[in-house]
A and B are shown apart, each in its own frame.
Chain A
């Protein structure tokens, strides 16, 4: 069954502000995590990944933090733009399979 969960189903932020999307996981055996963005009518799109031997990874405007002590993952989006409006999923890789959470719907207010 699913062991990946998201703290909030919806999140609204003002354009230009930073967004933080959180995700909890329960399986310590997970060694690889990915954040996906899914826009309406499209398949999930890779944003950033992190391996369990890392605490932080940065991309363009995005940062993923991994706290293995509390089994928590977060995605930070800097200077959120209207194009960032989408559903965001965290996925964990266990046994060569990806398990997805329910998703957080991010709405950017112009």
Chain B
């Protein structure tokens, strides 16, 4: 089965610019997650979707970050405007069900803000 697809793989932008990341989860997976992984740290959940609805976005910096999953499949994560501290790998993951089931991760998008 195809895995979680993310694009782009790498992105370099200047601070105050905007950027968008795209994720295509595994087919049939209702739950989609966006994580931020800063170098040397574990992934931190930004937002969780169940189908096209937001389950939790308590750790999403909503003044600059936004995410959507309009049709309950693909998702985009946007940062506008970017700050230097947003430099990180942005990981998308999906799982069949919410809760106690394995989450499958994409390769991530490495963002560098200069």
The chain A residues found within 8 Å of chain B, CB to CB, are: 2, 4, 31-32, 34, 36, 41-46, 49, 51, 89, 91, 93, 96-103
Residue of B4, B45, B93, B107 touching A41 (CB-CB under 8 A): B107
How many residues does chain B have at the interface if contact means C-beta atoms less than 8 Å apart?
24
- Asked if B22 lies at the interface with its beta carbon under 8 angstroms from chain A, I say no
Q: Which of B33, B100, B106 has the most CB of A within 10 A?
A: B100
Q: How far is the CB of A98 from chain B (nearest CB, A)?
A: 6
The chain B residues found within 8 Å of chain A, CB to CB, are: 4, 33, 35, 40-45, 48, 55-56, 91, 93, 98-100, 102-108
Residue of A43, A91, A93, A98 touching B4 (CB-CB under 8 A): A43
Within 8 Å CB of A45, what residues of B? 105
Judged by DSSP, the binding face of B is: loop
Judged by DSSP, the binding face of A is: strand
User: With A44-B91, A49-B102 in contact, is A97–B56 under 8 Å at CB?
Assistant: yes
User: With A43-B91, A44-B105, A101-B42 in contact, is A93–B56 under 8 Å at CB?
Assistant: no
Within 8 Å CB of B102, what residues of A? 34, 46, 49
Q: Which 3 A/B pairs are nearest by Cβ-Cβ distance?
A: A43-B105, A100-B42, A32-B100
Q: How far is the CB of A54 from chain B (nearest CB, A)?
A: 12
Within 8 Å CB of A42, what residues of B? 107-108
Residue of B40, B41, B99, B108 touching A43 (CB-CB under 8 A): B108
Q: How far is the CB of B53 from chain A (nearest CB, A)?
A: 13
| CB-CB nearest in chain B for A105 | B40
User: With A31-B100, A32-B100, A43-B93 in contact, is A98–B45 under 8 Å at CB?
Assistant: yes
